[in-house]
Amino acid sequence: MTEVVPKGPVVAHCATPYLWDGGGAWIYNQIAWLQRWHPVVLTQEARNLEQYPVPELHSAEDFSLHRRLLNRIWRRCTGEYAFYDDLLRDMGAQLVHAHFGYQACRCLGAIRSTGLPLLTTFYGADATSYARQPEWQRRYVELFYRGRLFLAEGSTMAKHVAAAGAPEERIRIHHLGVDTSQIPFREREPKDTVRVLMCGHFREKKGFPDGLRALGRAVKAAPGIDLQVVMIGDGPDRGKVLEAIGDSGLGERVELMGLRSYKEVLQELDSCDLLLQPSRTATDGDAEGGAPVILLDAQAAGVPVVATTHADIPEYVIDGESGLLAPEKDLEALTEILRKLLTTPESWAQMGRRGRQHVEREYDARRQVQRLEEIYDELVSE
């Protein structure tokens, strides 16, 4: 890699993999929009660098054969990444920002060795399902001891991080940001065919079977609605999604698009009328923790949202203004708000305007990264 001259103090972002297609934009925005701090990425696996370019990246894949072998053995024995301390010293890092709690744990050896302040952002399962597993509970004890500050995207996520053992005085709410300049805004108007988008990993916590069944009931309660449902994603619950498509009576009205890049997701948002995100707590306790970032993308695009009151969704979506929310797992309530929006398309434009304003005010990537840099300044000045 060509030597890069840092434009300011160096922050090392630890993310593995860096970054997955379609879902890594919310981490990338925290790196790409830094102005006063110079970001360097440390990862075990580099992916999609054309989609998520950074000025400087160090991957374990580029280690010498000897170091790759030692790193593999060290990870297996300790659960930590080897040689990150050397990289941090070589780059002159002043701060480490780890993305996900379990990634922060894998960087603890480097933190012990260098003494650098560690900032950790929690995103969901790392504060819920991981925190209930004995192996990670043991690792989190040291993380919460050594970590300087822990960021959560909303109040519900912050409670999960505290329940996992983090000292409350070292937990701070910091909203994720989306690049609103890359999301075209368009007011939604009534038209012959209503396109509803559902986007995310096919897992129980996404609630997609609930959404499909509620849509089927809503269409029956509002005859004359010509509906098309577009689903982006895939995952272990694909069979349950297919079953729900059959149960709902929607049949050929549902188009399964599979996995798509973030750019393709935004293109689909531009052509749809409503976003449906019926998240719920899974039977094994898995939850959003915060809220799906697609909710921000949709509101920025002017798309009214139908979702649930799960986790931090009520902070992301202003109920009655930028969308409508139903209690999670309440199929009857979800059906009713879907019926209401499907039959009042004249309300879509105003909801879209309010959604865009909400995102620009509280979740714009540039503004949020400015706030993030202030946190960086605070940590290195302590």
Secondary-structure class of domain 10-177+364-381 per CATH: alpha beta
pLDDT in tens, 319-333: 999 999 999 999 999
pTM above the 0.85 mark? Answer: yes
pLDDT at 2: 46
Residues 331, 22: Cα–Cα separation, whole Å: 29
According to CATH, the topology of domain 181-362 is Rossmann fold (3.40.50)
Residue range 257-263: mean pLDDT, rounded: 92
Which has the higher per-residue pLDDT, 181 or 1?
A: 181
Residues 14, 103: Cα–Cα separation, whole Å: 7
By percentage, how much of the chain surpasses pLDDT 70? 98
pLDDT in tens, 71-99: 999 999 999 999 999 999 999 999 999 99
pLDDT at 125: 86
Tell me: pLDDT of 1 over 60. no
* Fold: same for 10-177+364-381 and 181-362: yes
Closest listed residue to residue 276, CA positions, set 321, 186, 209, 225: 209
Q: Which two tokens stand for residue 251?
A: 């049949």
CA distances from 29 to 26, 55, 182, 239 (A): 5, 14, 12, 33
pLDDT at 21: 75
In which element (H, E) is residue 97 found? strand 93-99
Instruction: Identify residue 57 by its one-letter amino acid code.
Output: L
Tell me: pLDDT of 3 over 80. no
pLDDT in tens, 177-228: 999 999 999 999 999 999 999 999 999 999 999 999 999 999 999 988 999 9
Cis peptide before 17 (omega within 30 of 0): yes
pLDDT in tens, 331-358: 999 999 999 999 999 999 999 999 999 9
Angle at 130 between CA 125 and CA 135, to 5 degrees: 165
Tell me: pLDDT of 6 over 80. no
pLDDT at 285: 80
Alpha helices in the chain (DSSP H): 25-32, 65-78, 84-91, 101-106, 108-114, 134-146, 155-163, 208-221, 238-248, 262-271, 294-301, 313-316, 331-342, 348-362, 365-381
Tell me: pLDDT of 4 over 80. no
22 confidence band (pLDDT: 50, 70, 90): low
Domain range list for the chain: 10-177+364-381, 181-362
